[in-house]
Structure 1
């Protein structure tokens, strides 16, 4: 089953004129990127191997002084992308200053046709299974993002892309072309977006791809890291729990935990806001499955979407 698309990284390689393209996104070529870093910065990093998970790709690397890092990239080397990466690095420093286990960006390198990013490799590993204890630990960690951006009005509020296509994710055209069922879902999602035209509210730091694949834990199950911050913004931290709820629909997850989270979401969010967040995740995952996976994945995410978007 597909992992969630990364809300900002999946737009890599798409200019404003072609962001509605139905093409698959480009994936990381670590060797070529490391060669570019060496040529343009003089920094020689050693490739250790590909990192698990993710849709665009990441790789483990080692600095000359023995520090380990995680290599990612932005094929779109635009000034806007560079500003976003520098803002991300700044916000992660802010979170680290509050004792939250997020990675430091140790290198943001402008290359001729891309931006290379090396971030700190945090301790721990991705959880072997998702259970109630992990979900509750993730929810508690997410609470630590509350009010973190109260004084950071410069941080943009994320667009949920319910009325127009997103930059490489939430592409409406794929749903329009796929089937009557996906067209009905898109029509309903657009109705939800039209009924709630304002931006997400709140001053929390929002992780836009909050699921167990972006969490690191130690041997005892304690969370040692929250990673993959390509998609972040200022708004309502509870959005992340809707992303988590979609992940719990996968076959390897516990149905009892998913039902418990459903109840929590109903307590935390008013029905209109929950519909808004649910509609975004529905379009995001159905679109991604149409373009990158197969009929089984499309049917799965349609079923999850339709459980609340009717």
Structure 2
């Protein structure tokens, strides 16, 4: 917690250090092959001794949680979804090292309506996939108490009067019905354009970063993607996307998901970015929950 009452930010992964930790814990013999992408937390490209390529991340949750994620991804891959295989889980002093297969494709360099529509369409393939995994948790919206490293209420409470008003509204939504998502779909909690891979034609070849996997409503990913589109395409009108959300989600469910993303993005911007970013997220978020 900082002196101003705002919690500290999340430390970005040091790829070489993480590789060294995993090798000490597992004897895997991985070689660091560079930093992976420009994500907020980070990952590392690695190579196995036999030359196979992999991606190393620091996983959240317990070893049992991550083993369950690996098993669920194995199952949904059999349904044809392009998701990675978990190849190693290594228990570390400060978390779990997760080595995933490196899938074909690259993060998209062009963000446009065609990509957004492809991502929207692929969420239909998540429908009902969690029905046979009753132990897969329904993700919390964290509207009444802070989440584990994200969706922190303390940062909004400490920042200024405007964020305190937004936090009050988030709490109101959290006390309303519905207060959680429902359903048996597979849920990707961080479904944004940085978490897909595409080939040279723009076809989606991979969906990555499944740390937040859950059971519930696949359409939650559409709201996550709408927030991402606001950041990636700030000068592009996206009325068609807003109309889509209003057509597929009831007002109460849309308000619930919007409140969660408001909390998530405003908190993250306060702790990791500049005041201008916080102001921008507040303006966008307030368009629906205030």
Partner of 2:53: 68
Structure 2 matches for 1:289-300, cutoff 5 A?
289-300=269-280
**2:40, 2:208 → 1: CA distance?**
14
Give the direction of change, closer, same or farther, for the CA distance of 1:142–1:254 in structure 2 (3 Å limit).
farther
TM-score normalised by structure 2 residue count:
0.95
Shift of 1:28: 1.4
Match of 1:271 in 2: 251
In the TM superposition, 1:243-254 aligns within 5 A as: 243-250=224-231, 252=233
In structure 2, stretches of 5+ residues that fail to align are none
Q: Shift of the alpha carbon at 1:177?
A: 0.9
Selected match of 1:175 from 156, 175, 196: 156
SS at match of 2:96: strand
Separation of aligned partners in 2, 1:40 and 1:251: 39
Per-residue CA deviation, residues 68-106 of structure 1 (Å, 9 max, x unaligned), is 0000114x7xxx521111111111111111010000000
Question: Does 2:182 align with 1:201?
Answer: yes
Give the direction of change, closer, same or farther, for the CA distance of 1:143–1:292 in structure 2 (3 Å limit): same
Distance (Å, rounded) in 2 between the aligned partners of 1:57 and 1:244:
20
1:120 to 2:101 alignment: yes
How many residues of Structure 1 are paired with residues of Structure 2 in the alignment?
287
1:108 counterpart = 2:93: no
More RCO (CA 8 Å, sep 6+): 1
**Alignment RMSD, CA only?**
1.7
Return the match for 1:88 from 61, 69, 72: 69
1: CA distance between counterparts of 2:93 and 2:231? Answer: 40
Structure 1 length normalisation: TM-score?
0.89
SS in 2 for 1:153: coil
Structure 1, unmatched stretches of 5+, are: 1-13, 15-19
- How many Å separate the matches in 1 of 2:194 and 2:46? 20
2:214 corresponds to: 233
